[in-house]
Copies of this chain bind each other. A is one copy, B any other.
Amino acid sequence: MNNRGMLIILSGPSGSGKGTIVRQLLKQRDDTVLSVSVTTRAPRTGEREGVHYYFKTEQEFERLIENGELLEYAEYNGDYYGTPVKPVEKCVREGKNVILEIEVQGAEKVMDKREDIVSIFITAPSLTELERRLRRRGSETDASIEQRLKIARWELTRAFRYDYVVLNDEVPLAVERIQAIISAESMRFARMENFILEVINNA
Contacts A156-B200, A159-B196, A203-B126 given: A183-B177 contact, CB under 8 Å?
A: yes
| Partner-binding segment picked from A26-34, A71-79, A103-111, A187-195 | A187-195
| Partner-binding segment picked from A17-25, A35-43, A163-171 | A163-171
Does A147 lie at the interface of the complex (its beta carbon under 8 Å from any beta carbon of B)?
no
How many copies of this protein are present in the complex? Answer: 2
Q: Are B187 and A153 in contact (CB under 8 A)?
A: no
Complex: A179 Cα to B180 Cα, angstroms: 8
User: Nearest Cβ in chain B — how far from A75, in angstroms?
Assistant: 28
Q: Are B202 and A153 in contact (CB under 8 A)?
A: no
Q: Are A187 and B200 in contact (CB under 8 A)?
A: no
Does A199 lie at the interface of the complex (its beta carbon under 8 Å from any beta carbon of B)?
yes
Which of A160, A162, A185, A189 gathers most chain B CB within 10 Å? A189
Complex: A166 Cα to B183 Cα, angstroms: 11
Q: Are B127 and A202 in contact (CB under 8 A)?
A: yes
Q: Are B166 and A177 in contact (CB under 8 A)?
A: no
Interface residues of A in 145-161 (CB under 8 A from B): 153, 156-157, 159-160
Contacts A126-B202, A203-B126 given: A196-B163 contact, CB under 8 Å?
A: no
